[in-house]
Amino acid sequence: MNVFLRVVLRTLWASVVLVMAVAFLMNKEACAFVKVEGVQPWLAEVTERSLDAVWSEAVKRSLPNRDAVLKLVAKRLFPGLVVEDLREDGDNLYVRFAPSQDGKQWKAVFNYPKLSPFLSRLFEKDAQALRGKFEEMLDHLSFDVLRWSSGAFQEKAEGMIESSLPGWKGAFVFSTEEESFVLEVSFTPKDPIVVAFRTSFSSLTIPNILQADLEEETLEVLSDYIGLPVQWVSKHKKDISRQVASSLEEKWQARKLKGKVEVDLTPQAVSSMKVNVESQKYVLRAWLTTYIGSEGRYPEVGIHFGRRTVPLSGFDLELYGEGIVRVDNGDLESRLGARWLLWKDVWVGAERVFPDDEYWGRVWFDKILDGVYGWARFNEENEVEAAVGWRLREHISWELFYDSREEDEFCVRLVGNL
C-alpha cells in the first residue's frame, strides 16, 4: 500500500512541476511584447503586429545588434514612417515612429447616395462626424503609408461607418492633389435591403371608400424607401414613420376631412407598415351586417355620421346620427346622440331612437386589445344590446352579438366595413 501511495504522489508531483513549467514559459512569452507610439492607434496596431513577429524571432535567436536590424526592417516594412526611438526593456520592445516629412494635409470627400431630400438630410447628419474622424486618422501621413496600410485603414473605417450608418458600406479611393491628399468615400447599401412594403389601413372615422385614394398615394410615397438597408431604416424608424405620415396628410385627396395619419413601421426586407387615418372633425362610417346561426334576423345596412368638437379644453365631444336599414323589409331605425371621450379609446354617450322614441345609454371600447373592440347599449327597461368584435382585416370583423330582446339572445355576425 505504501509503495502504491508513493507512486501516486510522485506522479502528482511530476504533473504539478510540468504544469508550472509550461505556465512559466507561457507567461514569459506572454510578457514579451512590442509597443508602438507616435502614430495613430489604428496604424500602431498594424505596425505592432508586423514588428512582433520580427522581434520574437530576434529574441529567440539572440541576434546581435538587434536595434540596427529592427530599424532596417522598419524602414523596409513601413515606408512613410521613420523610427525616432527604439528601446529594449528585457524582452519587450518600445518603438516610437514619426511620419516622414513629405506628409500633406488630408481632405475627405464624401459621395452621398442619391436619396430624397428628407433621407439625404438623415444620411448627411449620420455621416457628418465621420469626415473629421477620417481626416484625423490620416493626419500628416504620407501617401506611401497608405500603400501598405490601406487595408487596415479601410477595416477600421468600415467599423466606424457601421456604427454611424448601419447597413451602409464604404468604398475608398486615395488620390493626391497639388496641395493635399484626398480620401474619396462612396456609400452603397448592404443586404438586407427593403424590397417591398406590405401595408394595412385602419380607421374608425373614415369609410374605406375614401381610404382607397390613400392606399394609392401611400405606394407613391413609399417608393423613396425601396432599396434602403433594413438596418439603417430601423435606426430611423420613428423619423421615417413621421415623414411618411406627414407626406400622406399633404397628398391625401380627402384632407378636407382634416384627416390625421399615423404610421407604424416594421423594417424588414418586405417591411410591414400599418397606416391609421382618423378625421379630427368628422366621423363617417358605413357597414353591412350579416347574422349567422340565428333565425329571424336579416342583414342590415348602417351608416354613422358624426361631427366632432372640443367645447372645453380636454373635453372631446361628438354629435352624431345613425341610420340602420333591414334589407328584407326596408325598416329604418334612426338614432340621434352625443358621446364624449371618457378615457383614451373609451366613449360614453346617450341617444334617442326613432320611430320608437326611446332613450338609450351607450358605451364604446374602440380598442380593448390589438384588433379587439366592443360596445353596449341599454335603455330604461333594462334591454341590452352588446357586442365584442375581432377585426380580421381592415374591411371585415367578426362579432359575438347579444340582444336581450330576441329569443336567441346570442349569435355571431359578420360585419363588412364599406
DSSP code at position 281? S
| Residue corresponding to grid cell 516610437 | 96
Instruction: Report pLDDT for 257.
Output: 64
Instruction: Report pLDDT for 272.
Output: 93
Contact by Cβ (8 Å): 344, 336: no
Residue 377 has pLDDT above 70, yes or no: yes
Sequence letter at residue 174: F
The mean per-residue pLDDT over the stretch 101-120 comes to 88
φ/ψ of residue 28, rounded to 5: -65, -40
| Residue corresponding to grid cell 371618457 | 342
Contact by Cβ (8 Å): 373, 391: yes
The gap from C-alpha 17 to its chain's centroid, in whole angstroms, comes to 57
Residue 296 has pLDDT above 80, yes or no: no
| Lowest mean pLDDT, pick from 127-141, 254-268, 369-383 | 254-268
Residue 161 has pLDDT above 90, yes or no: yes
Share of the chain above pLDDT 90, in %: 44
H or E stretch covering 306: strand 300-312
The mean per-residue pLDDT over the stretch 376-382 comes to 92
Residue 16 has pLDDT above 80, yes or no: no
Give residue-wise pLDDT tens across range 182-232.
Answer: 999 999 999 999 999 998 888 888 887 777 777 778 888 899 999 999 999
Instruction: Report pLDDT for 34.
Output: 82
Residues near 273 by beta carbon (within 8 Å), at least 6 away in sequence: 197, 198, 199, 200, 218, 222, 244, 263, 264, 265, 266
Instruction: Report pLDDT for 26.
Output: 40
Residue 23 has pLDDT above 70, yes or no: no
Mean per-residue pLDDT of the chain: 84
The mean per-residue pLDDT over the stretch 71-86 comes to 83
Pick 92 or 190 by higher pLDDT: 190
Contact by Cβ (8 Å): 377, 360: yes
Instruction: Report pLDDT for 63.
Output: 61
Query: What is the C-alpha separation between 268 and 231, in angstroms, rounded?
Result: 9
Pick 389 or 278 by higher pLDDT: 389
Instruction: Report pLDDT for 240.
Output: 95
Residue 49 has pLDDT above 90, yes or no: no
Instruction: Report pLDDT for 7.
Output: 39
The gap from C-alpha 259 to its chain's centroid, in whole angstroms, comes to 26
The mean per-residue pLDDT over the stretch 308-327 comes to 88
Instruction: Report pLDDT for 256.
Output: 61
* DSSP assignment string, 150-210: HHHHHHHHHHHHHHHSTTEEEEEEEEE-SSEEEEEEEEEE-SSB--EEEEEEE-SSS-HHH
